[in-house]
Amino acid sequence: MFERTKRFLSQRSVITVIILGFVLGIVFWGGLNTALELTNQEAFCISCHEMKDNVYPEYQQTIHYQNRTGVRATCPDCHVPKDWTHKVIRKIEASREVFHKIMGTVDTPKKFREYRLTMAKSEWRRMKSVDSRECRNCHNFNSMDYSLQSRRASPQHIKGFEDGKTCIDCHKGIAHKLPDIRQLTPEERKEFNFD
């Protein structure tokens, strides 16, 4: 009798642990996904004054903010991948940015200007390494109608794609002011296509 009761309680414990683990897993997954989505809002991006006071006003003056078609690309559209795996990786990488926020690396306009080239080079390298994936969420190379592009843009796009270039190779100042590129080394000028 005692053995049967012990076995019954043991089986119930295993079932309880499995059910509890399943429920906690759903809660954890839901919480993580909710946090990812909340931090993927433009309002979150500009909640710190470094972004709100420095790059956000620049962005508001670009075609990505306001244009004839009314299509707006927000901060996460350009800086955070859409698919879950790459999004999580990017969020982990962004912890470095949170560290710099805490340390006050760019907490004044002067510090921001001094550190701007470093931040830009990091983002240019990231975008180049992923073949401008976030640009291509909206801009599909195969859907480009070259006949509707300007006489200057059309041949440059065709040649750029043939040469294996990606969006960031040519469109660095599209949503933010370029940093002082005179500070780039000759190797960096070549790396970032400023030659």
Task: Tell me the pLDDT tens digit for each residue of 158-194.
Answer: 999 899 999 999 999 888 999 999 999 999 999 998 8
**Tell me, what's the pLDDT at 33?**
87
Give which of 177, 190, 161 is closest to 119, Cα–Cα.
177
The 10s digit of each residue's pLDDT in 22-78 is 999 999 999 988 988 898 999 998 988 888 988 999 999 999 999 888 889 999 999
Is the pLDDT confidence value at 9 over 60? no
Could you give the C-alpha distances from 103 to 11, 65, 79, 97, 182, in angstroms and in order?
52, 30, 22, 10, 27
pLDDT value for 36: 86
Give DSSP secondary structure letters for 59-93: HTTSTTTS-TT-----HHHHHS-SSHHHHHHHHHH
- Is 137 exposed, middle or buried (CB count within 10 Å of its CB: 0-12, 13-18, 19+)? middle
Task: Evaluate whether 128 touches 168 at the Cβ level (below 8 Å).
Answer: yes
User: Between the CA of residue 109 and those of 48, 52, 122, 151, 154, what are the distances in Å?
Assistant: 13, 11, 19, 39, 38
Instruction: Give the whole-angstrom CA distance, residue 2 versus residue 18.
Output: 24
Confidence class for position 79, pLDDT limits 50, 70, 90: very high
pTM exceeds cut of 0.75: yes
Return the higher-pLDDT residue of 122 and 8: 122
Task: Give residue limits of the domains in the chain.
Answer: 1-38, 48-191
| φ and ψ at residue 88, rounded to 5 degrees | -65, -45
Q: CA 56 to CA 50: how far, in whole Å? A: 9
pLDDT of residue 109 exceeding 70 = yes
